[in-house]
Amino acid sequence: MPSLPLARHGREYLAIPGPSVMPDAVLQAMHRAAPNIYAGALIDLAASLVPDLKRVARTDGHVAMYIGNGHAAWEAALANTLAPGDAVLVPATGRFGHGWADMADGLGIDTHILDFGKRAPWDMDQIADALRADADHRIKAVLAVHVDTSTSVRNDVAALRTLLDAVGHPALLMVDCIASLGCDPFEMDAWGVDVMVAGCQKGLMVPPGMCFVFFNDKAQAARAALPRVSRYWDWEPRANPEEFFMYWNGTAPTHHLYGLRAALDMIHAEGLENVWARHALLARAIWAACDTWAGQGPLELNVSDTAHRSTAVTALRIGAPHGTALRDWVEHNLGLTLGIGLGMAPPGDPAWHGFFRLGHMGHVNGHMIMGLLGGIQAGLTALDIPHAPGGLDAAAGVIAKG
């Protein structure tokens, strides 16, 4: 007698916005005995990651690697650029903007949040007003989340640089690309970004555990002007190590380095611009299905304007209790796990059950996205959640056209 529903046995699919699906090549590269961390192949392997990470970030600047998750990268970026009492401006379009602001607050930084809600991108006029009001330049940095994973809002980082220059404000432009790197187009140098933070477990397709802070010479000058920098978070020895252990301030994340090497090889073999185009195509298929279903019933894309939608993650509204019911149904019956709605309603509030998210970052292709959408349609049908027909046809049509 099967212990699980009939259609459950088989390969599970974790379609949450991080950690993302890990390629077999990454898993196989990590499946090995512990390597020597003092000499041998690992030393050259670590050095080889640096230029390939910079290629993904589109920068000729510097990169520091850390053992840590995205929150660690937030703290590292702040610890190298700001002192307690310095002010920062945080234009927030979801929970992750607030999260980075909270991290700054905890370091004694004077944090000013411009809250643009949960469905809209930055309002450039309001940011301009805040920068102009800061005539004596107390604001030392703008903390900007490119793609807020909780809302799937994608913000226009290049326009924010243009705005800073137009206002003549010298604040550092610091950008969180934890969700977007390797998925949504991002150009660190061309867009004038001073500091960029990323993690390894989203577009970079490696298990959680490493993060990266990219920085340019302007940010390096801000670090040099600080009275002191945390020994652990200091990006200087990590970016310019005289000895191997200085990359990590201790033991290297040995197996992650092999996994990341494999992942970067995959990204550069495909070509970064092709990776972006693949994410865009698959996202358009998801939007086509969801927009079609939304023709009847409660389902709704959180972000209405496609120009402000991420191609790495999609946040959906479906009304309580359908969000949780749908997630539970597809997980239990199909082995397909969808993301929870994050920060859309307070935990404990029944409204919390009215949201879900789809992760489509990294190692995903057309048949996986069609499977993801097919699973959702099966769940909508099984649960009698009203929806217009034709969602899968719409998605297949997008993919067929390429």
Ligand X SMILES: *Cc1c(COP(=O)(O)O)cnc(C)c1O
Binding site for ligand X (CB under 6 A): 18, 69-71, 96, 145, 147-149, 176, 178-179, 199, 208
Which residues, including other chains, have CB under 8 Å from residue 220's CB and lie 6 or more apart? Answer: 62
Residue with tokens 């003549």: 168
**Cβ pair 206, 174 in contact under 8 A:** no
**At closest approach, how far in Å is the CB of 152 from ligand X?**
10
Residue among 69 and 314 whose Cβ is closer to ligand X: 69
**At closest approach, how far in Å is the CB of 384 from ligand X?**
33
**At closest approach, how far in Å is the CB of 67 from ligand X?**
12
**At closest approach, how far in Å is the CB of 199 from ligand X?**
5
Taking each helix axis from N to C end, the angle separating 366-382 and 322-334, rounded to the nearest 10 degrees, works out to: 120
**At closest approach, how far in Å is the CB of 146 from ligand X?**
7
**At closest approach, how far in Å is the CB of 68 from ligand X?**
8
Phi, psi of 364 (to 5 degrees): -130, 145
The 8-class DSSP code of residue 244 comes to G
DSSP string, 119-181: T----HHHHHHHHHH-TT--EEEEEEESEETTTTEE--HHHHHHHHHHHT---EEEEE-TTTT
Residue among 68 and 323 whose Cβ is closer to ligand X: 68
Residue among 69 and 377 whose Cβ is closer to ligand X: 69
Residue among 65 and 145 whose Cβ is closer to ligand X: 145
**At closest approach, how far in Å is the CB of 17 from ligand X?**
6
Residue among 38 and 232 whose Cβ is closer to ligand X: 232
One-letter amino acid for residue 66 of the chain: Y
One-letter amino acid for residue 367 of the chain: H
Nearest residue (beta carbon) to ligand X: 70
Structure tokens at 196: 């960029």
Residue among 179 and 336 whose Cβ is closer to ligand X: 179
> How far is residue 310's CA from residue 153's CA, in Å, rounded to a whole number?
6
Residue among 20 and 377 whose Cβ is closer to ligand X: 20
Closest CA to 156 of 173, 134, 138, 132: 173
> How far is residue 375's CA from residue 335's CA, in Å, rounded to a whole number?
9
